[in-house]
Structure 1
Amino acid sequence: MGIMGFLRERFGKIVAITIGLALGVFIVTEVVQYGKSYFNGSANDVGQVDGEKIDRADFDKKVEQSVANYKQRYGQTNVDPQAMSYLQEQTWNQVVSLMVLQKEIDKLGLVVGVDETQDMISGPTPNQMILQNFANQQTGQLDRTALNDFLGRLRVAKAEDPIKASWASFVNQMIDNKKDEKYLAMIKNGLYINSLDAKDDYEAKNKLVNFKYVSVDYASIPDNKVTLTDGDYQSYYDDHKNMFKNPRELRSFDFVAFDASPSKDDSAAVKEQVAKLIPDFKASTNDSVFVAINAETKAPLVYQKKGQLDPKIDTIMLGAAKGFVYGPYFSNGSFKLAKLVDSRFSPDSVKARHILISIQAEGSPEKALAKADSLKKLIQSGKKTFAELAPINSIDKQSGVKGGELGTFTRGQMVPVFEDAVFDGKKGEFKIVTSQFGVHLVEIEDQKGSSKVVKVAVVDKPLEASTKTTSAAYSKAQAFLGNLTKDNFDAEAKKAGLQVKTAEDVNGLASSGGGLENIRELVRWAFKADKGDFREQVDQAGNEYVIARLSQIKPKGILPLDVVKKQITPQVLNIAKAKQILPKLESALNGASTIEQVGQKAGIPVTPVQNVVFANPVVPGSAQENKLIGAMFGSQVNKLSKPIEGDKAVYVYVVENFLNPPPLTNALRQREQIAQQLLQRTDNAVLEALKDKANVKDYRAKVL
C-alpha cells in the first residue's frame, strides 16, 4: 500500500520528469545528428534566402545543368576545378537572384499570360531564348522552318515523351525570365534625370580650372620617422568602416611546400622506356593497334596538313619517307615517338551535304545501310533530290532543314571516318559511311585546293615522378609535420630552409590559391579550423606536398580593425605625416598674399596646371586627387587655400580662373546619356540591394 500511495502521490512529477528526459534525449540526438543545422543550416541545405532554404539536391541539379551546358558550348569532356568553382558560383548567384526577385514579383502580382507566352514563342519578335535555340547558324536569324517543325513534332508527341517535360521546363524558364524583365523594367521606368542633373553633369565634364599649387609629398618623410598609435588606427578605421565591408567570409593560410617534381633520373628512365619501343614500332604493320596498346593518349590516326601537327615534328614529317620513326622527343609533358604512316596530296577544303540515319531507329546497322542505299538510288535516278529527302530522313535536324548542307570545311572539323570519305573521294561522288552518330549518306559537292597531308602515329608516355622521388619528398613533409606545434611553424620552416608562402583571401568554394591547384580538401579544412591551427596531414597539390596553417579569418560583414590593420597602414601613415607637414605650410601661409610667396617661404617650387575638369580629378604629373580638385571647384579666384590633405601630398593652391563651357543647348540629349549610364548599372544594383535586404546565408563552404 505504501508503494502504491507513493506512486499515486508523485505520479504527475514522475511523468513530467520522464517526458522531460525523453525530450532532452531527443533534442540531444537531433543536435548530434543534424544539430549543426540549428546554428549553421542543415547538411541538406546550401543556404537560405529570407529564411527559405536552398536544397542541396536541387542546387546540385542546377550545377550539373550548368556543367553540361559548359561542356557543350566549349566542346569539353571534363571540367577542371577552376571552371567548376566558377560554375558553382555562377549557379549560386542565379539561384539567389531568382529567389529575391521572385519574392518581389509575388508581392506585385506580376504575371505572364497565355497570349504573351505564345507571342514569345512564335510571335513577330520571339523571346531571346527561342532565338538562341532555333537560330540559323549562318545568318544568326530565327529559323522559323526549324521552329515550326519542332512545334509540329511536339504536338503529336505522346504525353510520356521526355521532350514534353523538357519543353515545359524551357517555357517555364522563359516565363520566369520575362517576369524578371517586367520587374526590372518597372524599376528602370522610375528613373528620372532632370535638367539640373544634366547641367551639373555637363559642367563637370566641360568646365575647366587653371590653378597653381605647392605641395609636400608624404614620401618626403621616411616611414621610420613616424610612430603610429592605436588611436591613429582606430580613428582612421572609425571614419572609413564602410570601406571594410566583406560580402562573404574569406580565409588565408600559410604553407610550406616540398617539391616532388620528376628528377633527372626520372626523366632519363621514362625516355629509355620509350626508346625501347623503337624497333617494334618500325616493324609494326598495324600502327593503329600499336598506338592503342602502347600509347598513353589513344588518338586516332588521321591525315593532317602543315601546322596541324605537333611543332616538334611538323616540318620533319612533311619531308620524311613512309615508315620513318622520329624520337624520343619531349613535348607537352611527355616523351614521344612519331612514325610516318602515309603521305599524299589532298584537297584543302570540301563542301558536302549528308543525310544521317539512326541505326537504333532502323533496328540494325544493316537496315540503316540499306535505307541509305535506297535513298542514294532515289537521288541518282532523279526521282527525288537530296534537298527533298534530307529534312524528312536525316536525324541531324540542324543540317536537315537546310537540305543536308554542311557548308565548306577543312580537315580536323569532322569525325575521321567521315573526313576520310569526303577528302579521299571525288567531286560529285556519293559515299555511305558509318560513324558513332549513325549511317551517313554523303554527297561531295565541291573540293578546293591541294596540299600535302600526312598520317602520323604517335606513342607517348607522360613524364611523372617515380615512387622514389615522391617518397623522398613525402618523407620530408612528414618529418616537418612531426616537429610542428601551434607556435613554431615559422621557426621550423626557417630551420628547414623553407619559404613560408600565403594563400590570401580564399573563399569557401575555391579549389586553388597561393599558386596551388586542386586543393579543395585543404580549403574545406581551412573553413573549419581556428586561427593558428595547422593541418595535421600532408596535402598534395600537383607536384608538391603541402603543410598549411590557418593565418587569418575575415568574417562576412564589417571587418574588425585587427584584420585590416596591415591594409590601412599606408593611409594611417600619411595622416600622421600630414600632421608633421601642416605646420610648415601654415607657417608659409602666414602673411603671404600669393602662391609664389608661400612657395618661397616653404622652399617649394610653384607648379602651374591648366585645363583640369571636375569629372577627371587628376593633377598632371602627380596623382588622382579627388579632395583637392573638389575643393578647387568650390573656391574663389585668386584666393589662397588652406592646406589640403590629399592622397599623395599636402597642397596649398590658388585658382587663377575658370573657363566655363558654352551654354548647354541640348539638355534632352545630356539627360539621355546620363540615363543610359544609370540603366547599365541598374540590374546589378537592384539585385545587390535585394540580396542585402534578404539576409542571404551561404553554407556552401561547409557542405560542398
Structure 2
Amino acid sequence: MASLNTLRTKFGALLSVIIALALLAFILSLKTDMGFSDNDPKVGVIDGDKIRYSEYLNQYDAIKNRNGGVEASTDQESDQLAAATWQALFADHVLVPGFERMGIEVPEQERLDMVSGKIPSQAFYSAFGDPRTGAYNAAAVSQFLSQAASDARAQQAWNDLNEQARLERAVQKYATLIGKGAYVNKLEIEDGVDAANQVFGGKYVAKRYSSVPDSLVSVSSGEIKSFYNAHKEMFKQSPSRTLSYVVFEVNATDDDMLNLEKEVRAVGEKFDAAEDVKLFVRQDRHGEIADRYVTAAQLGEQAEALVAGKMFGPELKNNVWTMARVVESRMAPDTLGLKMIVLPYTAEKLADSLKTVATSENFADLSRQYSANEELAAAGGEVGVYPFSAFNTVMAEALSDARKGDVVKVMSGDAIQLVNVYRADKPSKHYKVATVSYPVEASAATLRDVHNQASTFAVNAKGSAAAFNEAASKAAVTPRIATLNMGDRSVRGLEGSREVARWAYGADKGDLSEIFKVGKDYVVALLTEIDDDEYASVKKAAPQIQNRLLRDKKYDYIVKNLSDASLAGAAESFGSEVTDFKDVTFGSFYIDGAGVEPALVGAITETTEKGKVSAPVKGISGVYLFEVTAIDPAERQQTAEDEKVRAEAMAEGMMQQRLLPALQEMAEMKDLSGRYF
C-alpha cells in the first residue's frame, strides 16, 4: 500500500508538471491574439526594417476598409490587396522618410487644389470621378464632406484619401526631379539622327540552331560551372518553395446527370404552373429576375416561347439547365434621346421647382445653371441616345410612358435626376424575364467518393517522394510540379489555390499536405524543395546554362562548316534559301522571316558599304549572313532637335518607369506574408 501511495504521489506531481507545461504552451500560443508584441511574427523586411504581423495586418485592414471592407473573393483580388499592402508599407518605410530628408513636401494649398480638381489626382479621381461621364465631380466632394461631418468612419476614410493623394503628389515631384536629370549628349544625337534617317534593304540567309543536332556538340559540367562562376549575378533569385501535387477531379457522373434532370424537370413543372412568378423565383436559390427590359429580338432562342406567354425550357446548354418566364412586359420606345440635370438627393424642393418650369427649349440652360455634375452641365445636360433596354428598372419604369418633350423626375441612389426626353421612337413591347438555372454539378455521393479516393492516396503517399509518385500511379493521377516564389499567393495554373500556397510556406521539406478543396476538385501536395539561397545552385541553373552554351557551340560549329562566304554558297551550306529584307531601320523590332533578332538589326543598320557580304551574325535563333543592297533616306527626315526631344523624352520615361522598381530593389524587400495571408 505504501508503494501504491508513493506511486500516486509521484505520478500526481508528474501530471501537475505536464498540465502546467501544456497550459503554458497554450498561453504562449494565444499571445498574438492577446496582443503581446514578443510573439508578433516577422512577415517581411523592407530596407532592413522588420515588418511584423500586427503592422502588416493593420495596413491590410486599412486598405481593405478603404475598398468597402469586403474580403477578397478570388485569388486575383487577394493578390491585388496584398500588393497594395506592400506598396503602402514600402511608402511608410522608404518613400515618406526619404521625401522628408530631401525636403519634398505637399503644402496645404496643393492639397486643396487636388481636392478641387485644379491639380489632377488619381486618388481623388478614383473616389469622386463620375463613371458615366469620366469627369471629376467636385460637387460630390462637398456632398461627401457634409455627410462625413457626423460620421467617424467617413472622416477616417477622408483622412486616408488625403494621405494617399499627398503621397501620390510627392512621388510625382520626385519622379519629375529624377526625370529632369535625363541628358542626351551630342554624339548620341548624331548617331540617333543617322539611324533614323536611313532605311536599309537587301537579302540574308539563316541557319537555325535547332537544325543542328545536340549530338554534334557537347557541354561539360566543368564548362557549366565556369560559366556559372563568371556570370553568377544572372542567377540571383528570390526564396522559393517547390511542390508536387495531384488533382482529384470532381465531375458529375451519369447518375448525377440523370438525377439532376429529374429534379430540374420537376421544378420546371412547378415553375410553369406558378401564378406568382416573382415569388417562385425569389424562393428558389437558382432563380434570378433581370433588372432590364429587353425586346423580342434580344431574347434570342427564348423569344418564341416567351413572346407567346409560355415557359422556355428546361433546356441543357453549356452544362447549365435553364428555364425562363416573362415576369412583366410593357410598351416602351425602342430608343430614347435624353438630357439630364443631376441634383443632390437633399435638393428635392429645387428638383420639383425646376420640373415645373423645364421644357425642351430651356432644359440645356437649366442644366448648365443647376446640374451638380460639371461635365454634364458643360454639355447642356446631353446624355445621348440609348435603346430602352440599356436602362435599369428604376429608370425604365420612369421612362416607359415618356413622350418627346416630357421632363421626368427620377430618384436614384444618392441623387435626383431630372430627365428631358428629346427623342422617343415608336413604342414596342419589352419584356422583363425571370430565369431559373441549375448548373450540372457532382452529387454529394460523388463528392464523398472522390474524397475517399484522395484520402486513400494521402495514406499511401506519406513518407517520401517515391511513395507519393507510386501512390499517384496507383490512383491513376498525374503529379504536377509547381514553384512558389516569394510573394506568390497561389499556385500558378491552379485557380483558387490560396490555401495550398499558405500551407507550402509553413511546411517542411517532405511534408504531405491535408486534402484541399480547390474549386470543385480535391488537391494533395508534397513539399519537395525549400530554396532560400540568394543565388540558384549550379544544379538548378545548369539547364539554362547548358542551353546557352549549346547555342554558342552550335554557332561555332555552323561558322566552322561554312565553306562558301557568298550568300548563295552559304544558303547551300545551310540548306536554306536567300531571303529579301526591306525597310529596316535602327528602330526596327524584327525582320520578316527572321523574327526578333536585335543583333541582326544592329549589324544591318551599321553597314556603310553596299554589295558586301557580312561576317556571320550570332542571333537569338540562328546564324545570319546578309548583304545590304540599298541604303535610302527615310521618308521623314529626323532633325537634330527632333532627335534630342525624342531621346530625352525616352530617357526620362525610362527613368521614371524604372524609378520605383529600382528603389524597391535597393530596399531589398522580402515578402514572407504568404504563410499568414
TM band (smaller chain): 0.7 to 0.9
Partner of 1:195: 186
- 1:356-402 CA deviation, whole Å, 9 max, x = no partner? 896xx9xxxxxxxxx97x88875677699999999999999998999
- Aligned partner of 1:483 among 451, 454, 460: 460
1:340 aligns with 2:326: yes
Alignment of 1:295-314 (within 5 A): 295-299=285-289, 303-306=293-296, 308-309=298-299, 311-313=300-302
- CA contact 2:363–2:420 (8 Å) conserved in 1: no
Letter in 2 for 1:519: S
- CA contact 1:211–1:655 (8 Å) conserved in 2: yes
Q: How far, CA to CA, are the matches of 1:633 and 1:143 in structure 2?
A: 52
Q: How far, CA to CA, are the matches of 1:83 and 1:59 in structure 2?
A: 16
- Aligned partner of 1:274 among 254, 261, 264: 264
SS at match of 1:498: coil
Query: What is the deviation of 1:433?
Result: 8.1
SS at match of 2:46: strand
Letter in 2 for 1:177: E
Partner of 1:285: 275
Partner of 2:476: 497
1:666 aligns with 2:639: yes
Query: What is the deviation of 1:543?
Result: 2.7
1:679 aligns with 2:652: yes
Q: How far, CA to CA, are the matches of 1:415 and 1:630 in structure 2?
A: 58
Q: How far, CA to CA, are the matches of 1:618 and 1:395 in structure 2?
A: 52
Two-structure CA RMSD over aligned residues (Å): 5.0
1:470 aligns with 2:447: yes
Query: What is the deviation of 1:551?
Result: 4.5
Q: How far, CA to CA, are the matches of 1:147 and 1:417 in structure 2?
A: 22
- Aligned partner of 2:400 among 423, 437, 451: 423
Q: How far, CA to CA, are the matches of 1:660 and 1:562 in structure 2?
A: 51
Q: How far, CA to CA, are the matches of 1:295 and 1:542 in structure 2?
A: 20
Partner of 2:49: 51
1:231 aligns with 2:219: no
- Aligned partner of 1:457 among 431, 434, 437: 434
- CA contact 1:66–1:91 (8 Å) conserved in 2: no
Q: How far, CA to CA, are the matches of 1:317 and 1:337 in structure 2?
A: 11
Partner of 2:537: 560
1:329 aligns with 2:320: no
Q: How far, CA to CA, are the matches of 1:480 and 1:143 in structure 2?
A: 59
Q: How far, CA to CA, are the matches of 1:441 and 1:665 in structure 2?
A: 54
Partner of 1:365: none
Task: Answer with 628-637 or 421-430: which moved more.
Answer: 628-637
SS at match of 2:176: helix
1:88 aligns with 2:82: yes
Letter in 2 for 1:189: K
SS at match of 1:558: coil
Task: Indicate how the Cα distance of structure 1 residues 604 and 150 shifts in structure 2: closer, same or farther if over 3 A, else same.
Answer: closer
Q: From the CA coordinates, give the structure whose radius of gyration is larger.
A: 1
Query: What is the deviation of 1:674?
Result: 0.9
Q: How far, CA to CA, are the matches of 1:632 and 1:430 in structure 2?
A: 69
Q: How far, CA to CA, are the matches of 1:281 and 1:606 in structure 2?
A: 70
Letter in 2 for 1:174: A
Query: What is the deviation of 1:109?
Result: 1.4
- 1:470-502 CA deviation, whole Å, 9 max, x = no partner? 122122222222221312333333344333333
- CA contact 2:358–2:366 (8 Å) conserved in 1: no
SS at match of 2:442: coil
Q: How far, CA to CA, are the matches of 1:388 and 1:640 in structure 2?
A: 74
Q: How far, CA to CA, are the matches of 2:140 and 2:207 in structure 1?
A: 71
Task: Indicate how the Cα distance of structure 1 residues 507 and 335 shifts in structure 2: closer, same or farther if over 3 A, else same.
Answer: farther
Q: TM-score of the superposition, structure 2-length normalised?
A: 0.76
SS at match of 1:692: helix
Q: How far, CA to CA, are the matches of 1:336 and 1:214 in structure 2?
A: 60
Query: What is the deviation of 1:235?
Result: 3.2
Query: What is the deviation of 1:513?
Result: 2.2
Task: Indicate how the Cα distance of structure 1 residues 567 and 432 shifts in structure 2: closer, same or farther if over 3 A, else same.
Answer: same
Query: What is the deviation of 1:225?
Result: 4.7
Query: What is the deviation of 1:672?
Result: 0.8
Letter in 2 for 1:59: Q
1:688 aligns with 2:661: yes
Q: How far, CA to CA, are the matches of 2:43 and 2:603 in structure 1?
A: 52
- 1:546-591 CA deviation, whole Å, 9 max, x = no partner? 2223345565743222223334443232234445445434xx48xx
Query: What is the deviation of 1:192?
Result: 0.8
- 1:219-269 CA deviation, whole Å, 9 max, x = no partner? 3432245443212322343444443333x4344433222221112221221
Query: What is the deviation of 1:428?
Result: 6.6
Task: Indicate how the Cα distance of structure 1 residues 600 and 167 shifts in structure 2: closer, same or farther if over 3 A, else same.
Answer: closer
Percentage identity across aligned positions?
Answer: 24
- CA contact 1:209–1:655 (8 Å) conserved in 2: no
Query: What is the deviation of 1:197?
Result: 0.8
Task: Indicate how the Cα distance of structure 1 residues 42 and 264 shifts in structure 2: closer, same or farther if over 3 A, else same.
Answer: same
1:527 aligns with 2:521: no
Gaps in structure 1 of 5+ consecutive residues: 1-25, 35-39, 72-76, 362-370
Q: TM-score of the superposition, structure 1-length normalised?
A: 0.74
Partner of 2:235: 244
Q: How far, CA to CA, are the matches of 1:491 and 1:401 in structure 2?
A: 72
Q: How far, CA to CA, are the matches of 1:559 and 1:344 in structure 2?
A: 69
Letter in 2 for 1:182: K
Query: What is the deviation of 1:287?
Result: 1.3
Query: What is the deviation of 1:187?
Result: 0.8
Alignment of 1:378-393 (within 5 A): none
Q: How far, CA to CA, are the matches of 1:387 and 1:630 in structure 2?
A: 60
Task: Answer with 504-513 or 676-685: which moved more.
Answer: 504-513
- CA contact 1:253–1:504 (8 Å) conserved in 2: yes
SS at match of 2:646: helix
Query: What is the deviation of 1:509?
Result: 3.6
- CA contact 2:137–2:374 (8 Å) conserved in 1: no
Letter in 2 for 1:198: I
Alignment of 1:112-131 (within 5 A): 112-122=106-116, 127=121
- CA contact 2:123–2:165 (8 Å) conserved in 1: yes
Q: How far, CA to CA, are the matches of 1:391 and 1:659 in structure 2?
A: 60
- 1:333-373 CA deviation, whole Å, 9 max, x = no partner? 53232223444432224547688896xx9xxxxxxxxx97x
- CA contact 1:50–1:694 (8 Å) conserved in 2: yes
- CA contact 1:46–1:703 (8 Å) conserved in 2: no
- 1:579-608 CA deviation, whole Å, 9 max, x = no partner? 5445434xx48xxxx647975996878958
- CA contact 1:534–1:549 (8 Å) conserved in 2: yes
Task: Indicate how the Cα distance of structure 1 residues 678 and 453 shifts in structure 2: closer, same or farther if over 3 A, else same.
Answer: same
Task: Answer with 604-613 or 393-402: which moved more.
Answer: 393-402
SS at match of 1:198: helix
Gaps in structure 2 of 5+ consecutive residues: 1-23, 33-37
Partner of 1:18: none
Q: How far, CA to CA, are the matches of 2:647 and 2:415 in structure 1?
A: 59
